Amino acid sequence: MTARVNPWLVLVLVCLAQFMVILDATIVNVALPTIQKDLDFSEADLQWIVNAYTLTFGGFLLLGGRAGDLMGRKRVFLAGVVLFTVASALCALAQSDTWLILTRGIQGLGAALVSPAALSIVTATFKEGAERTKALGVWSAIAVGGGAVGLLLGGILVEYLSWPWIFVINVPVGIATLLLSLRFVPESRDEHAHKSFDVAGAISVTGGLIALVYGIVRSAEKGWTSGEVVLMLALAAALLIAFVVIESRSAEPLVRLSIFSVRTVRGANLSMFIVACGLFAMFFFNTLYVQRVLGYSALQAGLAFLPFTAGIIIGAAASQQLIARLGAREVPIIGLVLAVVGMLFFLRLDTSSSYLPDMLPGIMLTSIGMGLTFVPVTLIATSGIPVDDAGLASGLFNTSQQVGGALGLALLSTFAANKTADTLASAGPSATPSQTADALVDGFHVAWLGCALFLAAGAVLLFTLLRRGDVLAVAPGEQTPVVP
């Protein structure tokens, strides 16, 4: 990059786009009841307002990351911003359930171009060491905190304006990001790569992930042994196996499988996949708990999660100091242990719980723990690899989060729904509102316990898959190469 380009201005611009992308993953949650009423969504179809975005986002992230390496990271980043902004405007104009679901999918595709290109721009702009640690500290706080801010902002917009505004707000932000990025973000690419795309690989992995999540979601209604669920899971397995075969034989694969021979890439991605299974579900179930059990409004539900953002910022800031003292592997393990304790605090919640004494401690412990986790794990996932593979590494890392979150939510939603149904069945055909609330809490307890187990498993994986020597290169001031 030239001396005229301020790297911290570049960071601000790409983080602004990433914030918009992550914000949109959660901002719709508190608006779902209003959208359902206005557009006449059925109960079964309502979930696809979220799933259409998450699945296209996660499914096309790998293609987005590789496209940045081949075509230019700035070019792909700008294309993603344009697509996301246009899709946001179309979402706001939606007149039917099908219209909104389709445009949410287009939003997810735009996000899949923006997110890996943005992260690879950061890693290409800042050298490994103290500067990249600071830059990724900001990135991680934006990436995780955006989810919590989305709940708050969604509540405000729904309460005082209307649900289309949760999409309208992206339009001026997207336009400003586009214009400023055209001027200030530098271009970079893999100059040695052939200009070709692994279309077969992209179709097989995206189709496989969508089929897998769809099968898991449908199991809550149809049962795991139903023909529809078995067929979808078999299709998912066939497509994902085909993806591995295609990648192993392709001259220009979407995912060069040899990248997993780097222990940092392998360990960070697998751990983040498992952690995301619990973290994304925590947001979902806590939002349902405060609205459906405690009776919070959309705005109150958003405010309830504002401390989560503060906790993320505290943890992310502390992690930058602790990495140099304790090590990049040890800090996220400590963070995950703290987050597990926070998740277990939620098991104390019932129908008569209060926010400050009962819920807030769990929120703060979990959020600080996640702040301690995301900075070093992001550093680990993007270290020890050539700059030319920055797009692939960032695409893999983002995919691990999004796909893990979708799968974890699908699984835990199924378990929670089954537990709630069992409790209601024991109450008889005429359950009272109090019994219904108790049944919901029973289901949420199962989900929260599952969240805690996922986070604990993530800590175990970090400890077992990574050695202290593998992560020396991510400590500020060190440049020790990572050995596959």
> Within its chain, how far is the Cα of 115 from the centroid?
11
From 130, 140, 132, 151, select the one nearest 313 (Cα to Cα).
Answer: 140
Q: Where would I find the H helices in 223-329?
A: 227-249, 263-288, 298-304, 306-326
Calculate mean pLDDT across residues 77-85.
91
Average pLDDT value for the chain = 80
* Residue 297 burial (C-beta neighbours within 10 Å; 0-12, 13-18, 19+): middle
pLDDT over threshold 70, residue 449: yes
pLDDT computed for residue 456 by the predictor: 94
Alpha-carbon gap, residue 59 to 82, rounded angstroms: 19
In CATH terms, 7-187+254-474 corresponds, of 3.50.50.60, 3.50.30.10, 1.20.1250.20, 2.40.420.20, to 1.20.1250.20
Between residues 63 and 38, which one has the greater pLDDT?
A: 38
pLDDT band at 129 (very low <50, low <70, confident <90, very high): low
User: Phi and psi dihedrals of 95, rounded to 5?
Assistant: -115, 0
* pLDDT at 371 > cutoff 80: yes
Residue 481 has pLDDT above 70, yes or no: no
pLDDT over threshold 60, residue 165: yes
How far, in Å, CA of 391 to CA of 109, rounded?
16
Q: How confident is the model at residue 341 (pLDDT cuts 50, 70, 90)?
A: very high
Share of the chain above pLDDT 70, in %: 86
Nearest by Cα to 279 from 102, 441, 433, 145: 145
Tens digits of residue pLDDT in 190-246: 555 555 667 778 788 878 877 887 787 777 667 778 888 899 999 999 999 998 898
SS3 content of the chain, % helix, strand, coil (to 5): 80, 0, 20
Torsion, Cα of 83, 203, 387, 10 (10° steps): 10
Residue 98 pLDDT exceeds 50: yes
∠480-14-172 over CA atoms, to 5°? 170
Name the percent of the chain lying above pLDDT 90.
17
Nearest-5° angle of CA 71, CA 178, CA 393?
40
Q: Which of 163-177, 275-289, 389-403 has the lowest mean pLDDT?
A: 389-403
- Output phi, psi for 254, to 5 deg: -60, -45
**Which residues neighbour 420 within 8 Å (Cβ) at sequence distance 6 or greater?**
439, 440, 442, 443
Say what the pLDDT of residue 480 is. Answer: 33
DSSP-assigned states of every residue in 214-239: HHHHHHHHH-TTSHHHHHHHHHHHHH
